[in-house]
Amino acid sequence: MAAQALSVLNLRKEFRRNKAGRALTGLFGRRRKAPGTVDSNGNGSGGPDGGRNGSNGSVIVAVDDVSFDIEKGEIFGLLGPNGAGKTTTIKMISTLLRPTSGKILVEGTDPEQEPARVLARIGTVLSGERCIYWKLTGRENLEYFGALYGLRGPGLRRKIDGLLDRFQLTGRADETVEKYSTGMKRRIVLARALLHDPSLLILDEPTAGLDPQGARNLRDLILELKAEGRTILLTTHYMEEADILSDRIAVIDHGLVIAMDTPAALKRRLGDTRVVELEVREWVEGTGRSLQEAGLVSGYAARRLPEREEYQVTLHLPAGVGAAATIAAYLERGNSVQNLAVKEPTLEDVFIRLTGKSLRD
């Protein structure tokens, strides 16, 4: 068995509510700021992403008994809808939040006992762009964060020059980051995370907001980093990306891991299921449930497409049920169809079957 790069055992995180019902992050303790993790005010980030499972009047349970192991050199995808507990889990691994209970080991080291040693082994890229200082140049950012890691002199300068060249930022290195495109900001943040040569990279939605070419380039870089022997913990909202990059995937919902396997094995769970994808002007509540009760679908999900003011509806057809009969029943319930496609099941369909919602819900 390969050595474990990361072990998470029975991890749980609770947040107390204030009188308005919001979570209070400080009551359970916030871990020190990790080098390279700042918000727009220059403060370390923290706080829950809204897990609901097990909540009561005074406590929100953001992560509930989560366990998984990641082997060295593996890309491990952590997938879940908004509010599932992904970011809270990442922040506990990164020492930004202290678990309520459970244990984390990074290459055998407990972040609770030796946070500095753990921080020396991990590089973290949290979602959003405020992981760097926009009023500094790209080079100045790398010099500043390199100093936080104890890097100095000619060695740091060589390291910075190499990273700037690798991420195609040399020509813009002495411009302030606020002038960078979204893709350039992502690349400088990734360069910052690699300054101290970490063995474990934590990438939280690294390609969110990028154009298709920028996302493809960044995925290629992630695969290069894996080829160098680095371990990568990845969250993403793009199922195709998770399928391409991940050796294994854990699906988390309401703070719980509800499935974990390779992408291929997860897709095999759907068996002979066929998928009908519709674009409609309106989604009539109760339609999916009615079709399911009639045995015409085995699963369904609908999400709004704000750019087109339409809904995308996904219907899972069990073996033996014809697409024509299901679509006719759908139309009989007062729905209109703009576009229709019958397609092979994907990882997104596995996610819908497991959670009852699409990944972006």
Cα-trace Rg, the chain: 22
State the pLDDT at residue 128.
Answer: 61
State the pLDDT at residue 28.
Answer: 34
State the pLDDT at residue 326.
Answer: 86
Longest Cα–Cα distance of the chain, Å, equals 73
Tokens 């397609």 found at = 343
Distance CA 321, CA 302 (A): 20
- Specify burial of residue 116 (Cβ count, 10 A radius: 0-12, 13-18, 19+): exposed
State the pLDDT at residue 46.
Answer: 37
How many Cβ atoms are within 10 Å of 11's Cβ, its own excluded?
24
Kindly tell me if the per-residue pLDDT of 19 is higher than 70: no
Kindly tell me if the per-residue pLDDT of 42 is higher than 70: no
pLDDT in tens, 170-216: 999 999 999 999 899 999 999 999 999 999 999 999 988 888 898 99
Query: CATH number of 4-262: 3.30.70.20, 3.90.1070.10, 3.40.50.720, 3.40.50.300?
Result: 3.40.50.300
Tokens 């596995």 found at = 350
260: three-class secondary structure by DSSP = strand
Distance CA 335, CA 282 (A): 7
Token pair listed for 343? 């397609």
Question: Domain residues of the chain, as ranges?
Answer: 4-262, 272-344
Kindly tell me if the per-residue pLDDT of 167 is higher than 70: yes
pLDDT in tens, 214-245: 899 999 999 999 999 999 999 988 888 999 99
What is the share, in percent, of the chain residues with pLDDT greater than 70? Answer: 86
What does DSSP assign to residue 132? S
**Average pLDDT for the chain:** 85
What is the arithmetic mean of pLDDT over 134-150? 96
- Residue 150: pLDDT band with limits 50, 70, 90: very high
Q: In terms of CATH architecture, what is 272-344?
A: 2-Layer Sandwich (3.30)
State the pLDDT at residue 24.
Answer: 53
Distance CA 235, CA 84 (A): 12
pTM of the model: 0.81
